[in-house]
Structures are given as C-alpha cells and as structure tokens.
Structure 1
Amino acid sequence: MIGTLIKAEWYKLKHHHIYAILIIGPLLTLLIGMLNPMMGDMGAYHPWLSLFLFMNLPYALLFLPLITGVIACIICRYEHQAGGWKQWATLPVTRTQIYVSKLILIALLVLIIQMIYGLVIFIAGTVKGFDVVFPYWTVGKFIIGGWLATFPMIALQLWAAMHWRSFAVAFTINVVFTLPSILAINSERFGPFYPWAQPFFAMYVDESMSGMLFIPISQMLLVTGGSFIVFLVLGIATFKQKAI
C-alpha cells in the first residue's frame, strides 16, 4: 500500500516542475565552486578537499535545508488547494500510511539531490583540471551521511507543510530553523546538538575521521536519530488529530 501511495504522490509532483527544484541547489553550488577566486590559492592543499570545503558550506547549510522545505510544501500543496485531504479520507488507507508515504518520497528526492551534488563535485573538479584521482569513497560518505542527517528536517518540515495551508508559513518555519545553523557550527558546545547543523557536520570532510561517516556514530544516533523520532511521532500524532 505504501508503494502505491508513493507512486500517487510522485504523479502529483511531476506537475510542479520538480525536476528543476531537484537540480537548482547543486547547480547554484557548482557556480559558487567554479567562480570562487580562493580556489586558485589552494595549490598547497589537496584540491578535492579544498573544493569540498568551499562547496559544502553554502550547500549543506542553506541550499539543502531550504530545498528540502520547498519539496515538503509542494508535496502537500495539492491537498491544501484541491480538497485532497477529504479525498484521502474516502480511501481505505490510514493517516499514518499517508504521512509515511509522503515522508519516504521526500527522503528519496533528497537522496537524488545528494547524488546530483556528488556529480556536480566531479564536474567542478574536472573542469578545474584536478590531477588527483576523484575520491569516490569520500564523496560517497558525505552523500549518504548528509542524506541521513536531513531526516529530522524532513520530518519537521513535512509536519509544518501538512499543518498549515500557507506555503509562506511552512517555509518561514524552515528558514527560522536553518539560519541559526550558521552560528551553531561555530559552537563546539551547541553545534553538535543542533539538528539543522548535522548535514554540514556529516559532509565536513575530515581525513582523520575513520569509519563510515565523518561524524561519530553516537552523534548520528543521539542527535539525528533522536530528533527524527521525536518530530516523526509528533507529526503523525498531529496529523491524526487534523480536521479534514
């Protein structure tokens, strides 16, 4: 049943220029990486690591969270505008199934964005003529790690998008949580515990960090996993009580 609901959600998204939304963040990041004049002064450093540093900062802190919020708003737009919530109520599906299907689709779309971003990294380095082998394992680590770190954002943004009809209100909530992450990453005390800063930490390349991810597994489980469960439970509980 969940698979059928996801297909139905995807069919609705295709009419909202979703393809353009998926590539806009990575493309803007590519432009930043290509035009950044500081890249010419990084010859003494590993070229790929320097590129990651310049491109991950705007992408992981701004573009990825904001685009995730836009997708969450769009995926609920049809129900708010065309009485779709009442149509769902006539079908033999539970509200939990509806919520989970939307959540899974957003997560899959964010994974696609992450994969496009990995390709963008490769294109930027190739155009700049890097003579060092492309670090596939490193890129794969921050693609998957950054994706997993977006789960709390996805859960909260979906809750906001389903709760408020106004696109502006739901998007403003996303911005309110996104902007403090710029300050949080500079705080050793609060940064590791701020959910919106986790994508940046998960994509911050550190060659000294061994294992599957660039952040400790304990931080991933406690902060990302814990906040995701809290937002997920609150979102489902609120949606079950929603008058449609």
Structure 2
Amino acid sequence: MLRSVTTEWFKLRHSRISLVLAILPVMSLVIGCFNFYFNQAALQNGWYSLWTQVSLFYGEFFLPILIAICCAFVCRLEHNNRNWNLILTSPVSVSSVFMAKLIIVSLLIFIVQTLFMVMYWSAGQLFSISGAFPTETIVWGFRGWLSSVAIAALQLGFSIRIRSFAAPIGISLCAVFLGLVMYVAKIGMLFPYSLLTIGMSVLSQRDLTPAENLSFFFMNVTFIALFAAWSIHRLKHKDMALS
C-alpha cells in the first residue's frame, strides 16, 4: 500500500495540479470577501458573517468541482495509452491501486482545506474583525474534509470508469444541485454532497446536536466504505471495459 501511495504521489511531481488546488479556493475567497465588503452594513456577525460569504461559493460549488478534478487527474495517466491494462495485470492488488488514489486525493483536499482556513483567518485580519477567531470553524473545515473524502470515493469510481476528463466533473456539478435540493428537503444526511453543505455549515451556522454529529460521521464513513467497495468491485470484475 505504501509503495502504491508513493507511486501516485510521484506521478504528481511535475504536474500542474497545484495551480488548480490554489486557484479555486482563492477565487472563492475573493468573491466572498467582495460580498462581505460591500454588505458590511447588513452583515453584523463578525467572523461568522465572513464565513457565510467565503464558504458559500467554496463549499457549495468550488470544492465539489475541485474534488472531481483531482479524481479525474489521478486517473488521467492510466487512461492514456491503455495503461489500466498494465496496472491491473501487475502484482499490485486492485484494492491497493484504488485506496492509494483515494489517499492521495484526500491528502490534496486536506491541503486545500488548510489553505482555505488560513486565507479565511487572513481575510478576517484584513477586515479587522473584532473578537476571537471562532474555533468551531476549524471543526467545520474538518467535517468538510471528511465529506470530501466520501465524495472523492464516489468520484474516483466515475473517473476510473469514464475515460473523459470532463464528464465526471459534469456529474459532480449535477450532484451539487441535487445535494442542494436534498438539503432543503431536510434529507441531506442521505447524500454525500449534502453532507458537505451540512458539515461546513455553509448555509446555516446552527450547531449540530451530538446525535446529528454522530449521524454525520456515521453516514460519511458508510459512504466512503460503500463507494470504495463499489469501485474496487467494478475494477476487479469489469476491467476489460477499460481497454
């Protein structure tokens, strides 16, 4: 497993994925800061008001798209020149191949989440927001990362099966709107994209109850396990479709 993870990491060394990882969070933060700056008369809740502005575009749109891009990117080399055939006939297990890709994507998203939190704190300093930095936003960032891993497990399954780079990203964008519908319908716990909205407290900064937190973590872990098992199963039994 460690060798597979190391191999996946080396594949990214000379890529430009780092530019995408930086550009999308910066774009979302800039948009949110502009909204906050021009609506400060109505936004009187300090750090929390800033969070509603910067996390809205990031958590609802940019982050899901970024996850899909990362998943498509880590599968791009295998789709070129039918490299899946070479990998699936190597002594490395299919499970290791998938889990290594999921670990790498999870690590990339963790870096992005950390960058976003640092930029959020920096924006608050720039606007001279009074009061202590709200530590609960760190919890929101972590919960957002956990939901991102669940989404990544699903998106990796799509990216492995679909040779097109853009198609899985389009699927992610459609799932974002479906997630919004399910969130509004109060059934967001049943869909990973809605869990991202809930976890990052994008649309509501209401604290989750202990029972809701437990349900949130349980559903994310369940989705990760189910999507990983589904993707690995398809790789094992439908590998010829990748030729």
Q: Provide the TM-score with structure 1 as the length reference.
A: 0.89
Partner SS state of residue 91, structure 2: coil
Aligned equivalent of 2:56: 57
Alignment of 1:23-42 (within 5 A): 23-36=22-35, 37=37, 39-42=39-42
- Give the fraction of aligned pairs with identical amino acids, expressed as a percent: 25
Aligned equivalent of 2:158: 160
CA distance in 2, matches of 1:207, 1:55: 17
59-68 or 161-170, larger mean C-alpha shift: 161-170
CA distance in 2, matches of 1:208, 1:81: 46
Question: How big is the shift at 1:89?
Answer: 3.7
* Counterpart residue type for residue 202 of structure 1: G
1:232 to 218, 228, 233: 228
Partner SS state of residue 14, structure 1: coil
Q: Does 1:44 align with 2:44?
A: yes
CA distance in 1, matches of 2:69, 2:88: 25
Cα pair 2:43 2:49 within 8 Å, conserved: no
CA distance in 2, matches of 1:79, 1:122: 39
* Counterpart residue type for residue 194 of structure 1: F
Compared CA separation, residues 80 and 127, structure 1 to 2 (3 A): same
Q: Does 1:8 align with 2:7?
A: yes
CA distance in 1, matches of 2:111, 2:207: 28
Question: How big is the shift at 1:210?
Answer: 6.4
Number of equivalenced pairs? 237
Aligned equivalent of 2:141: 143
Aligned equivalent of 1:74: 73
CA distance in 1, matches of 2:121, 2:183: 26
Aligned equivalent of 2:184: 186
Partner SS state of residue 106, structure 1: helix
Cα pair 2:179 2:191 within 8 Å, conserved: yes
Question: How big is the shift at 1:33?
Answer: 2.1
Cα pair 1:33 1:124 within 8 Å, conserved: no
CA distance in 1, matches of 2:229, 2:146: 18
Question: How big is the shift at 1:140?
Answer: 1.8
CA distance in 2, matches of 1:228, 1:100: 11
Question: How big is the shift at 1:209?
Answer: 4.2
Q: Does 1:219 align with 2:216?
A: yes
CA distance in 1, matches of 2:209, 2:234: 40
Compared CA separation, residues 30 and 87, structure 1 to 2 (3 A): same
Partner SS state of residue 129, structure 2: coil
Q: Provide the TM-score with structure 2 as the length reference.
A: 0.89
Partner SS state of residue 185, structure 1: helix
Q: Which runs of 5+ in 2 are unaligned?
A: none
Q: What is the RMSD computed on CA atoms of the aligned residues?
A: 2.0
Aligned equivalent of 2:200: 203
Compared CA separation, residues 171 and 209, structure 1 to 2 (3 A): closer
Question: How big is the shift at 1:208?
Answer: 4.4
Partner SS state of residue 12, structure 2: helix
Cα pair 1:142 1:203 within 8 Å, conserved: yes
